[in-house]
């Protein structure tokens, strides 16, 4: 009888275990990952054959190569061919037209993308992502023209611009400023026309605005808003803090606000309330009042705002307040972004224009605070109220009582803090309280634009 070869059996078992181990290693090792590279393309459907197409490629095992080809019915151009990436896990490539070409007769091109990673999967060849994207070629810029605008804008004030914009592939319309704010225009009166209120912040030293129309292919047209600038000198108040104020109102507020928990120093409490709490409260206000409807505006004719009958001004809008304490200069500072009005204790506050309540509760230093949306990006707010007679989503009609004056929040006496905002920027309430200013700068501009549009 022949004896079994135990040595060959052991070798077979060893090979088997090695194979199982190799399979397990390949199944679970990051070196053998099986996911194709992730590719994101900046353009979708349209291209102006000039602006770079940004292609972002990412893979957990690193990138081995990337290739991009542009094709028409008659031509093929390799525009990117990179196999020198080593093990970069993320890379952005700019796909540009082939050298010497800034236009193409074809109405569309096909962008072919091929990206391979450094995985050892697929017989050490790696995983490859392939995609073909058809892009319509559009090299025509949007048509854009400013029809009319307010003649001037005052620092801290408001204006309006009305313009025409058209493009079969129009993607976005915006109004860019030199201080970083972007205003959003609403459709106006008839298709193809747009309008927006503008605002010049108190803190911005200058003002300029440019309407920007951009289509899906990346073509862009710009047009400056022709508005004259009128400077305005706002009050600067140097205020000496008293011990009574720090031990009274500030101590009271410090026991309420989250930001002052664990802070015992009176001056530090004041700084936090005057700067940090204020900033947090204003962030909420700015977010709420930055919203603009995309519905068509057929008319906008507000009447002057008179929230407090017989109310007397007790503090200015735009007042730059600089605080000191017992020889310590510039302890803190802030801008007063509303008009303070006072009459009698717990006087009735009314909205003289229709609107919708978008906020109605306590907001830090502003106390009980209703905010009303009057449409077209125009909002009013009423701070330090003792009572609120409205709630969010209420529709307000002219002369409706919405609240009562009071001492809530950071208020030393019964009064109303009245604020007006245009797309999240505080503006001079005095303008919107002036019948002549509203007519000269807003409603007459709208009426003249309608006459022009009707003649087209």
Q: What is the pLDDT of residues 279-330, one digit of tens each?
A: 999 999 999 999 999 999 999 999 999 999 889 999 999 999 999 999 999 9
Sequence ranges of the domains in the chain:
31-137, 143-232, 236-423
Cβ atoms of residues 441 and 158 within 8 Å: yes
Sheet of 328-336: strand order equals 236-240, 319-325, 328-336
Q: What is the pLDDT of residues 361-398, one digit of tens each?
A: 999 999 999 999 999 999 999 999 999 999 999 999 99
Q: What is the pLDDT of residues 160-171, one digit of tens each?
A: 999 999 999 999
Count Cβ atoms below 10 Å from residue 11 Cβ, excluding itself: 11
Q: Give the pLDDT score at 19.
A: 47
As a residue count, the chain comes to 456
Give pTM, 2 decimals: 0.87
Does this chain's domain 31-137 share its CATH topology with 236-423?
no
Burial class (CB in 10 A: 0-12, 13-18, 19+), 38: middle
What is the assigned CATH class of domain 31-137?
Answer: mainly beta
Nearest to 401 by CA among 363, 350, 439, 443: 350
Q: Which listed CATH number (2.30.42.10, 2.70.70.10, 3.10.110.10, 3.40.640.10) goes with 236-423?
A: 2.70.70.10
Q: Give the pLDDT score at 126.
A: 87
Query: Using 50, 70 and 90 to split pLDDT, how confident is the model at 13?
Result: low
- CA dist., res. 147 & res. 240, Å (int): 50
Domain 143-232, CATH: 2.60.40.10
Mapped onto helix, strand or coil, the DSSP state of residue 196 is strand
- CA dist., res. 172 & res. 169, Å (int): 10
């Amino acid at each position: 009888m022949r004896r079994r070869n135990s040595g060959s059996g052991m070798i077979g078992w060893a090979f088997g275990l090695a194979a199982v181990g190799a399979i397990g290693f390949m199944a679970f090792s990051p070196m053998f990952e099986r996911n194709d590279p992730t590719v994101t393309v900046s353009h979708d459907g349209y291209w102006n054959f000039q602006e770079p197409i940004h292609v972002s490629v990412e893979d957990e095992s690193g990138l081995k190569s990337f290739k991009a080809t542009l094709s028409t019915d008659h031509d093929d151009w390799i525009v990117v061919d990179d196999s020198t990436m080593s093990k970069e896990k993320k890379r952005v490539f700019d796909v540009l037209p082939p050298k010497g070409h800034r236009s193409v007769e074809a109405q569309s091109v096909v962008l072919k993308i091929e990206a391979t990673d450094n995985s050892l999967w697929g017989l050490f060849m790696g995983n490859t992502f392939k995609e073909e994207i058809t892009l319509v070629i559009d090299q025509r810029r949007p048509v854009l023209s400013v029809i009319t605008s307010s003649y001037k804008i005052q620092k801290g004030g408001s204006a309006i611009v009305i313009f025409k914009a058209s493009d079969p592939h129009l993607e976005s319309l915006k109004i860019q400023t030199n201080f970083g704010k972007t205003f959003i225009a609403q459709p106006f009166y008839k298709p193809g026309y747009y309008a927006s209120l503008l605002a010049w912040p108190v803190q911005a030293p200058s003002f300029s605005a440019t309407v920007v129309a951009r289509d899906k292919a990346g073509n862009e047209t710009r047009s400056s808003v022709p508005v004259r600038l009128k400077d305005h000198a706002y009050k600067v108040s140097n205020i000496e803090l008293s011990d009574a104020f720090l031990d009274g109102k500030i101590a009271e507020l410090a026991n309420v606000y989250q930001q002052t928990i664990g802070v015992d120093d009176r001056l530090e409490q004041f700084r936090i309330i005057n700067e940090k709490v204020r900033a947090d409260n204003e962030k909420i206000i700015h977010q709420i009042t930055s919203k603009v409807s995309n519905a068509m505006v057929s008319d906008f004719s507000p009447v002057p705002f008179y929230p407090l009958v017989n109310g007397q001004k007790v503090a200015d809008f735009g007042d730059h307040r600089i605080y000191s304490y017992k020889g310590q200069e510039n302890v803190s500072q802030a801008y007063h972004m509303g008009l303070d009005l006072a009459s009698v204790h717990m006087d009735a506050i009314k909205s003289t224009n229709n609107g919708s309540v978008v906020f109605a509760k306590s907001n830090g230093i502003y106390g009980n605070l209703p905010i009303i949306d009057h449409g077209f990006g125009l909002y009013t707010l009423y701070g330090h109220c003792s009572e609120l007679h409205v709630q969010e989503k209420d529709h307000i009609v002219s002369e409706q009582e919405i609240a009562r004056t009071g001492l809530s929040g950071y208020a030393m006496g019964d009064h109303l803090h009245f604020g007006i905002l245009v797309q999240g920027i505080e503006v001079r309430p005095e303008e919107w309280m002036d019948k002549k200013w509203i007519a000269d700068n807003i409603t007459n501009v709208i009426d003249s634009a309608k006459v022009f549009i009707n003649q087209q």
